[in-house]
Homo-oligomer: A and B are copies of this chain.
Amino acid sequence: MEFMIFTATTTDGTQIQDITARAGVFNQEEVDSVPEMFNEYLTLGAEGSGYHFIVYRDGEQVLGFAIYGFRDLTDGVYDLYWIAVDPNARRKSVGRKLLTACEEAVRAEGGRIMIAETSGTAEYETTREFYVSMGYVNEASIKDFYSVGDDLMIYAKRI
């Protein structure tokens, strides 16, 4: 398989931010968290910041990005912090390829478990189905976590 997936560089910043804003499901606080993480990643590097940014690029155009990182104090647990695809680039399996690339990188680093946390609301149904289709299992949930009526759903995949 050939992926058009690269480690993110400075010039990807604007397009990453743009995709996040146009994805539709994220609130302002969530949207704002991405440039913060990206700045830390650029300044401190992936290891130093704990944020590994990867992008799916088609020529110069970024069609999606993902952020994963090691969970401190564990033996081989990694969190998928973010995965987002340009709404105009659906049906190209960009999300699947990004997540697969994250998992391969984590496996190469000796990771055992990938965790994806998401919301239990109807708005995130497609996201949850995506994780399940990628082999993730909803191993744990916390009711009313993000807010009342908005549960935390923890998906895990043994990789």
Contacts and interface: CB of A to CB of B under 8 A. Distances in A.
Contacts of A76: 147
B146 A75 contact: yes
Given A75-B147, A147-B74, A139 B142 contact: yes
Oligomeric state, in copies? 2
A154 interface: yes
B147 A139 contact: no
A39 interface: no
- Majority secondary structure of chain A interface residues (helix, strand, loop or mixed): strand
Contact of A74 (B33, B73, B75, B146): B146
A73 B142 contact: no
Contacts of A150: 75
A60 interface: no
9 contacts: A74-B145, A74-B146, A75-B147, A75-B148, A77-B145, A112-B144, A139-B141, A139-B142, A142-B156
Which 4 residue pairs across A and B have the least CB separation, nearest first? A140-B140, A75-B147, A74-B146, A139-B142
Interface of A: 29-30, 33, 72-77, 112-113, 115, 139-148, 150, 154, 156
Given A33-B73, A75-B147, 11 more contacts: A30-B73, A74-B145, A75-B150, A77-B145, A77-B146, A113-B144, A113-B145, A115-B142, A139-B140, A139-B141, A140-B154
